[in-house]
A and B are shown apart, each in its own frame.
Chain A
Amino acid sequence: MANLTTKIGNLTLKNPVITASGTFGYGEEYLDFLDINQLGGICVKGTTLHRREGNPYPRMAETPSGMLNAVGLQNKGVDYFINTIYPRLKVFETAFIVNVSGSTLEDYIETAEKINSLSSIPAIELNISCPNVKQGGMAFGVDKDMAAEVVKEVRKVYHKTLIVKLSPNVTDIISIAEAVEHEGADAVSLINTLLGMAIDAETQKPLLSTITGGLSGPCVKPIALRMVWQVAHAVKIPVVGMGGISNARDAIEFFLAGATAIEVGTANFIDPAVSLQVIQGIDDYLQRHHCESIIDIIGALKTA
């Protein structure tokens, strides 16, 4: 077996495969289908300071090779997570990363500070890129100055690995990545969903209650890959790549483009055990290419 260990800031992952926030619940939902201890990490559902009911139904529309969602960060709030969910997660041997979101700067700071006190949570993924909330969310991730400010303030209260999840719904993702790197982010993860829309031509109505939603799945992979490649060239901190990864081959492409780790998202809905197949497939690839470590292929794209 090749060495699949990878590092994001101070966080060492046993392998570079993380399940993406919002697609894997808290991991427990998947216990009948796979041993979650084998995963490099699990990004848990977006967590906010206060309980959020999310958006009205319908929240999902299937699209060619993908889906739109408009869940809107439904969750029971950070205190519920700390008191009820976290104690159950501590028994598992995988890196639980909490995806932190908010409507205001203060929300982000207070939520991150609370998570900082949890000894078994080694990292947060700061979600400044959710397209499905009216206030905050993506607003922080599409403006360079706001992105910098939220990272700067969260950095003051959060002392473990800080990953910042970037939005693809921007003109220049590099400038945002550089801004959050400058303010002390340990890593960036990208891409969050692309803002999209679906219409029922017969009823002449939108298919989502919020009209627009976030597009994910294999259809976004080429965009994600391009952005990971661009950002990986621009920043020195690790890049966690995601966007339409459905198998090991997809994952390898992201490593070649410069990702240090990858997240599997929407594919979990179709095959709940797909992440383990991705891990196995990465190992097979590395052995076939006579690589001792995953590090050998990170950013190894041959462009000449």
Chain B
Amino acid sequence: MKKFIGNLVVSENIPLKNNHFLLKLTQAEPLPLMLPGQFVQLKIDDTPSVFLRRTFSINYVDRLKNEIWLLIQVVGDGTRSLSKNKTGDSLNLIYPLGNSFSMPTATQSRLLLIGGGVGVAPLLFLGAILAEKGFSPSFLIGARNVDGLIELEEFQKFGNVYVTTEDGSAGEIGFVTNHSILKNTFDKIYTCGPTPMMQAVTQFAENKSIDSEVSLENKMACGIGACLCCVTQTHQGNQCVCTDGPVFNTKELVWQI
């Protein structure tokens, strides 16, 4: 897929709870085709401590409004700078990058999308595309507490949403892998979130022989497969998360064991 570099305009910057915000970006020309699981790299100017671009998965593409959504949590100087953007501001993007989640096969209809924290971001776009293709995906979303549950109302547009929190302040108490929905049968699981969560889900999927994909978020420099910094260990050797991923079938990854 062709990659682009260019300036997009902030159409909206919506503050969300727990230090999250939703950046909506647009441009005059129609946005190129983007797939769920792909990501962008944003240039951050005027922040001396930020040198490299910042990587964000595509949260959603609103084709009617010609908008790309980025769900971002403020964790450092780069994201803090981005959070201050106002409508009309311009941001330089390299996009769309990476591979994408694979669509279910003909025999896969019961789909579970598991997200943790800000890792839910790419699952909204994935859920939207799956719903558009006639699937009824289920979402299982985990967070430390109720404040960490972001965009639930958006997910509800595309399927049933199940929730866990570590402190029980919303949904079932515990980790996503403790949720009762996992007693149901699923044909495919898509996961994005903290690494320990993805490993636990992978273990679960492996035990039940469920096809499973994860989206990794290794630290990147170039984002286009040139620097070889963001590698993950696979059964084919070290592979770039930015170009061979970010989505991997968990069978490919060494950490699934």
Q: Which A residues contact B (CB, under 8 angstroms)?
A: 22-25, 29-30, 32-33, 45, 53-54, 56-67, 69, 71, 74, 217-218, 266, 268-273
Contacts and interface: CB of A to CB of B under 8 A. Distances in A.
A58 B221 contact: no
Contact of B226 (A67, A218, A268, A270): A268
A270 B51 contact: yes
B102 interface: no
Contacts of A69: 221, 227, 229
Contacts of A25: 224-226
A284 B233 CA distance: 46
A57 B230 contact: yes
Contacts of B219: 58, 60-61
A29 B228 contact: no
9 contacts: A29-B225, A29-B226, A57-B218, A57-B238, A62-B52, A65-B51, A69-B229, A269-B221, A270-B43
A268 B222 contact: yes
A299 B216 CA distance: 48
Nearest to B241: A57
B5 interface: yes
Nearest to A34: B5
A39 to B, nearest CB: 14
B229 A59 contact: yes
A222 to B, nearest CB: 16
Given A269-B221, A270-B51, A270-B52, A60 B226 contact: no
Contacts of B230: 57, 59-60
B100 to A, nearest CB: 17
Contacts of B233: 56-57
B48 to A, nearest CB: 7
Contact of A32 (B2, B227, B243): B2
A11 B227 CA distance: 26
A53 B48 contact: no
B51 A29 contact: no
Given A66-B51, A269-B221, A270-B52, A54 B228 contact: yes
A24 B49 CA distance: 24
A269 B50 CA distance: 13
Given A30-B224, A54-B238, A60-B219, A270 B53 contact: yes
Contacts of B17: none
